[in-house]
A and B are shown apart, each in its own frame.
Chain A
Amino acid sequence: MLRLREMIGKVAKSRVSLLLQGESGTGKEVVARAIHAVKAQGEFVPVDCGSLAPTLIESELFGHERGSFTGAVTARLGLLRTAHGGTAFLDEIGELPPEAQVKLLRVLQQQEIRPVGSNRSEPCSFRVIAATNRNLAEEVRRGRFRLDLYFRINVVTLELPALRDHKEDIPCLIAEFLRRKGYQHRITPEVLDAMMAYSWPGNIRELENSVDRLVALSSDQYLHAQDLQFHSVLADSRRAGRSDPETGTSALAIQAGVAAASQAGPHRGAVMPAELSMESAERAAVQRALFSAHGNIKAAAQLLCIGRTTLYRRLKGYNEDWLHDAMEGISV
């Protein structure tokens, strides 16, 4: 971790383009904001390339003139023009469609931008901090990401480790979350043991959410082990024999999938669903992923290691009653 901290300190003083690579929840935006804050020139503009609607992507990024297309009743500045003189944080850059990649490359090359429907280019330069949880080099090799754009944004890469690879930081992180939010609560050894044993597929974000949940459920100044709710079979198998009140099974490890569940073995507790068919295992996995992701389809798909469209297709195949039951209790 010290190495990463050192690297952040070094790159923050420079203007080089950065690529942050790490799983969901590892703190890519937090790092990007910290880097921007060192110089604090201009605005920090986060752009989630993965959530932009394909039809509006150009107008969102590059702006548009009034009347340039049906529905464009007012002019729009566009996210990249807002970042002029500052930092554009291009999250999920690997999701950017090919046409938008070409246009973004042109903006970076020319340092100017032409809004949709305009004949005039305007100056536009910003520091690029891109982020991805994909292997962008692999995307280039497969022809899905432009090589020239890759070199424009990936001058220096910072790898953000998964929380399971730096569990020694968990006590400090918990203390920091409590301190930052002004909570006076103390953590019990049982909670800490359970947290150290868990694999944290949702990384630091999941840890922070867990701390928030424990604080909310606590009626005194302690965080209690009985309020913990993990969604990993690894953690569940350690709490052997304890079954999930909602499904009658222990929670399935979404990332480890059915294989890991079977490795855990029946002697460790009711890990597999009562029905052993692939379909029921798949439904249970989908349900757990939706629960863990608070109903967010994209995040749930990531947990399941499948594409968003594949998850949509699966959900379409389930009947409405099942979906209603599955979504019940999810706090969106």
Chain B
Amino acid sequence: MATNPTDRDPLNRATTVLLVDDDEKVRKWIHEELERRGYNLLEACDGEDALLIAELHRGPVDIVLTDIVMPKLNGPEFVKVLLGLRPDAKVLYISGYPESFLRNNTSLPSRDNYLQKPFEISTLIARITDLLGS
């Protein structure tokens, strides 16, 4: 399990989250809130930068929080490539669009995890904990 303190290097003991969103305010808010709760955060403003981090970051990436509608590379397109680089990473999509709209109008697979904005930080953490436990 990703959060087990005994099987990881002290530096990577906490869960590492890759946060991908083109909205700077959303990134700043999630980054600060999760960082304050002991998560390690990596931040990207689009799918291309996120793939670069997934490829070149030396530590683990436990969970990816990604927006869906983004310039350059949208969320599902980015995740497809990401899972080739980081097959163990869990993915949680976050977006302002209603889930039913996204399922019908984007390539978001029906089985993928989704959390609609706006959300409470406690809800986000509960979803992260669920995903990492699964």
Task: Give the distance in Å from the alpha carbon of A137 to the alpha carbon of B42 in the complex.
Answer: 16
Q: Which residues of B contact A (CB under 8 A)?
A: 10-11, 28, 31-32, 35, 40-45, 48-49, 52-53, 56-58
Does A315 count as interface, using CB distance less than 8 angstroms? Answer: no
- Residues from chain B with a CB closer than 8 A to the CB of A151 are 35, 40-42
- Residues from chain B with a CB closer than 8 A to the CB of A141 are 10-11
How far apart are B49's CB and chain A's nearest CB, in angstroms?
5
Q: Which residues of A contact B (CB under 8 A)?
A: 7, 10-11, 14-16, 109, 111, 137, 140-141, 147-148, 150-151, 155-157
Contact B28 A156 (CB under 8 A): no
- Residues from chain A with a CB closer than 8 A to the CB of B32 are 109
Task: Give the distance in Å from the alpha carbon of A140 to the alpha carbon of B9 in the complex.
Answer: 12
Task: Give the distance in Å from the alpha carbon of A62 to the alpha carbon of B76 in the complex.
Answer: 41
Chain B's closest residue to A11 (CB) is: B52
Q: Which of A10, A11, A148 contacts B35 (CB 8 A)?
A: A148
Contact A15 B11 (CB under 8 A): no
- Residues from chain A with a CB closer than 8 A to the CB of B56 are 7, 10-11, 156-157
Chain B CB count within 10 A is highest, among A10, A14, A15, A109, for A14
Count of inter-chain pairs, beta carbons less than 8 A: 42
- Residues from chain B with a CB closer than 8 A to the CB of A150 are 11
Chain A's closest residue to B13 (CB) is: A147
- Residues from chain A with a CB closer than 8 A to the CB of B49 are 14-16
Given A137-B11, A140-B11, A148-B35, A156 and B40 touching (CB < 8 A)?
no
How far apart are B29's CB and chain A's nearest CB, in angstroms?
11
- Residues from chain A with a CB closer than 8 A to the CB of B53 are 16, 155-156
Contact A147 B11 (CB under 8 A): yes
Task: Give the distance in Å from the alpha carbon of A111 to the alpha carbon of B53 in the complex.
Answer: 21
How far apart are B18's CB and chain A's nearest CB, in angstroms?
9
How far apart are A20's CB and chain B's nearest CB, in angstroms?
13
Task: Give the distance in Å from the alpha carbon of A11 to the alpha carbon of B53 in the complex.
Answer: 9
Q: Which of A14, A109, A111, A148 contacts B52 (CB 8 A)?
A: A14
Task: Give the distance in Å from the alpha carbon of A111 to the alpha carbon of B32 in the complex.
Answer: 12
How far apart are A194's CB and chain B's nearest CB, in angstroms?
37
- Residues from chain A with a CB closer than 8 A to the CB of B43 are 155
Contact B28 A14 (CB under 8 A): no
Task: Give the distance in Å from the alpha carbon of A328 to the alpha carbon of B44 in the complex.
Answer: 53
Task: Give the distance in Å from the alpha carbon of A12 to the alpha carbon of B32 in the complex.
Answer: 26
Q: Which 4 A-B pairs have the closest CB atoms?
A: A156-B56, A14-B49, A151-B40, A14-B52
Task: Give the distance in Å from the alpha carbon of A31 to the alpha carbon of B124 in the complex.
Answer: 39
Task: Give the distance in Å from the alpha carbon of A150 to the alpha carbon of B40 in the complex.
Answer: 9
Task: Give the distance in Å from the alpha carbon of A148 to the alpha carbon of B57 in the complex.
Answer: 15
Chain A's closest residue to B35 (CB) is: A148
Contact B41 A16 (CB under 8 A): no
Given A141-B10, A147-B11, A151-B42, A156 and B35 touching (CB < 8 A)?
no
How far apart are A173's CB and chain B's nearest CB, in angstroms?
26
Contact A10 B28 (CB under 8 A): no
Contact B44 A16 (CB under 8 A): yes
Task: Give the distance in Å from the alpha carbon of A111 to the alpha carbon of B10 in the complex.
Answer: 29
Chain A's closest residue to B45 (CB) is: A15
Chain B's closest residue to A109 (CB) is: B32
Task: Give the distance in Å from the alpha carbon of A15 to the alpha carbon of B46 in the complex.
Answer: 10
24 A-B residue pairs with Cβ-Cβ distance under 8 Å, sorted by A, are A11-B52, A14-B49, A14-B52, A15-B45, A16-B52, A109-B28, A109-B31, A109-B32, A109-B35, A111-B28, A137-B11, A140-B11, A147-B40, A148-B35, A155-B42, A155-B43, A155-B53, A155-B57, A156-B52, A156-B53, A156-B57, A157-B56, A157-B57, A157-B58
Task: Give the distance in Å from the alpha carbon of A271 to the alpha carbon of B14 in the complex.
Answer: 51
- Residues from chain A with a CB closer than 8 A to the CB of B31 are 109
How far apart are B51's CB and chain A's nearest CB, in angstroms?
10
Question: Given A151-B41, A155-B43, A156-B53, 12 other A-B contacts at CB below 8 A?
Answer: A10-B56, A11-B56, A14-B49, A14-B52, A16-B53, A109-B31, A111-B28, A137-B11, A140-B11, A141-B11, A150-B11, A155-B42
Chain B's closest residue to A159 (CB) is: B58
How far apart are B61's CB and chain A's nearest CB, in angstroms?
11
